Amino acid sequence: MLKDNDDALTGDDVREGITMIISCKHPDPQFEGQTKTKLGNAEVRKIADDVFSEGLERFLMENPQEARIIIEKTISASRARLAAKKAREATRKKDLDISNFYGKLTDCSSKDPSECEIFIVEGDSAGGSAKEGRNSMTQAILPLRGKILNVEKARLDRALGNDEIKSIITAFGTGIGDEFNLDKLRYDKIIIMTDADVDGSHIRVLLLTLFYRFFRPIVETGHVFAAQPPLFKITHGKTRKYVLTNAERDDYIASLREKNVKFDISRMKGLGEMDAEELNETTMDIEKRVLKQITVEDARLADQIFSDLMGDEVELRRKFIEENAKFVENLDI
């Protein structure tokens, strides 16, 4: 129940997670607006209010256990709202200290957002190479330590208490929620740079879920990209060819064999094992790199997959595994 330090409940606290369906037949319905999503007949509101009020009161009196669950959920929503408000205020008040921003962000020199980009990098090792291999004028580096919090199952207050997420929010400069302002985005390109393996894919999905939930406008306006690190390096003579897929590797090798050209092929290491020169040449140089622009549909699918795999519906997980297990060739354990 409410404690002395709890604030009064709001309508949003009470309504959170509750759905009500009203069936109403009216001889002369009047709708508001062109979309006709709201009934405008004033007399219906009083009737609906009375019926709902009486019915809800009776239900709560007759079902004390369910009533307690609803009340506890409402109080929990209120506390989460207040905690999230405090976390947002704390995040907003913290100035961006480039010299000591959680010991993580290495910012670029330019202050023109239209030419700046930030790489969100998997791990400190890759972050170190990226800092050495970047263009310091326009490229900023934000390494993440491990996997960020799964916002699919975390309330806003807990998400805003996570250091990695706070770093991202502060680096972007846009704020979140009601305070979000796209005009304050500090980088034209936000580039997710992770390894081409299972862990890297997991981190990418976690980030896309975060962006879809907290920063959807930056996805909608085309600011989010995924770096495409190569899988193989093919060397012949003084030429180094980096390829992204098995098919591209096979095609290139076939062309070399037709010309009787000797070559060496090697599987690329993870980002953290590349030196600064390799990372720049394969993934960061704007003249040579390959970027995939993330669309709203990409982020929505990532969010949906996470909901299916990490949510409470066991049947959805089972169905996903059954439908996709056939596509797994080599599983990293």
Q: pLDDT value at position 102? A: 46
C-alpha to C-alpha distance for 51 and 298, rounded to whole angstroms: 44
Is residue 215 assigned to a domain?
A: yes
Is residue 32 assigned to a domain?
A: no
Is residue 168 assigned to a domain?
A: yes
Is residue 265 assigned to a domain?
A: no
199 included as an active-site residue: yes
For the chain, first and last CA: distance in Å?
46
Q: Is 203 buried (19+), middle (13-18) or exposed (0-12) by CB count in 10 A?
A: buried
Backbone torsions φ then ψ of 73, nearest 5 degrees: -65, -40
Q: Look over the chain and give the mean of its residue pLDDT values, rounded to a whole number.
A: 81
Is residue 149 assigned to a domain?
A: yes
Domain with 178 in it: 98-229+290-311
Q: How many other CB atoms sit within 10 Å of the CB of residue 278?
A: 20
Catalytic pick from 107, 122, 281, 303?
A: 122
- Report the CATH number that the domain containing residue 205 is assigned in CATH: 3.40.50.670
Query: Which pLDDT tens digit goes with each residue over 4-46?
Result: 555 678 888 888 878 878 788 888 888 887 777 788 888 888 8
C-alpha to C-alpha distance for 141 and 168, rounded to whole angstroms: 11
Is residue 64 assigned to a domain?
A: no
Q: How many distinct structural domains can be found in the chain?
A: 1
Q: pLDDT value at position 310? A: 56
Judge whether 284 and 137 are in contact, CB under 8 Å. no
Q: pLDDT value at position 96? A: 45
**What residues contact residue 208 under an 8 Å CB cut-off, 6+ apart?**
192, 224, 294, 298, 299, 302, 303
Is residue 12 assigned to a domain?
A: no
Q: pLDDT value at position 247? A: 92
197 included as an active-site residue: yes
Question: pLDDT exceeding 70 applies to what percent of the chain?
Answer: 83
C-alpha to C-alpha distance for 97 and 103, rounded to whole angstroms: 10
Catalytic pick from 57, 163, 197, 275?
A: 197
Catalytic pick from 132, 157, 199, 308?
A: 199
Is residue 223 assigned to a domain?
A: yes
Query: Which pLDDT tens digit goes with each residue over 165-223?
Result: 888 988 998 888 777 899 999 999 999 998 877 778 888 888 988 898 889 999 999 99
Residue 232 bridge partners (DSSP): 243, 267
